[in-house]
Amino acid sequence: MDDAAGTTYVLVDGENIDATLGGSILGRRPRPEERPRWERLLQFAAERWDQPTTGLFFLAANNELPMAFVQALLAIGYRPIPLSGAPGEKVVDIAIQRTLAELRSRKGDVLLVSNDGDFVEQVEDLLDGRRVGVVGFAEFRNQGFLELAGQGLEFFDLEYDVRSFNERLPRVRIIPIDEFDPAQFL
């Protein structure tokens, strides 16, 4: 695999991130100002690996296209991928799995934005010399991804590394003592 592949593919599982943010971190549906600033993710990816990005944002759109959100994604540089399928079909997961499999035959680095373990097998297949990373919330990352760390998989936290939120989230995490600031807790 050529190291100068020239592109980082950023695949966003928006449903997974939204469900984790709402259900596990906030305990309610996120307000617009509490959602990630998705443009910061593309900027982070471009700066981190020093190359252009192609952002793909997967959406379950079952008979309803959220045009305002789609237009916002287009404006910040993503290619929205609205999907539909049979009731109960995990169309976003299926599409991301297929995209990860297709990327095996192409040059380029990959950042998957999800905590979902349904992609572990496809991510492992991409660990062939290219740079591959998973972006999400560290405390909710699927254990299967952690097992790939020794094979070169990189991990990035959506809040702490990417800095994609305007406000600090109410998360409980292990804090390295060098980062501990008591003022944050008082």
Residue % of the chain over a pLDDT of 90: 76
Q: How far apart are CA 185 and CA 71, in angstroms?
A: 39
**Count of Cβ atoms closer than 10 Å to residue 82 Cβ:** 18
| Residues whose CB is less than 8 angstroms from the CB of residue 105 and which lie 6 or more positions away in sequence, other chains included | none
Among the ranges given (44-53, 65-74, 99-108, 168-177), the one the predictor scored with the smallest mean pLDDT: 168-177
63 phi, psi to nearest 5 deg: 65, 10
> Does the pLDDT of residue 172 top 80, yes or no?
no
Distances (CA, A) of 124 to 139, 147, 148, 182: 20, 10, 7, 39
* 60-111 tens-digit pLDDT: 987 788 899 999 999 999 999 999 998 889 999 999 999 999 999 999 999 9
Is 185 a residue whose pLDDT tops 80? no
Ordered domains of the chain (ranges, CATH): 8-184 (3.40.50.1010)
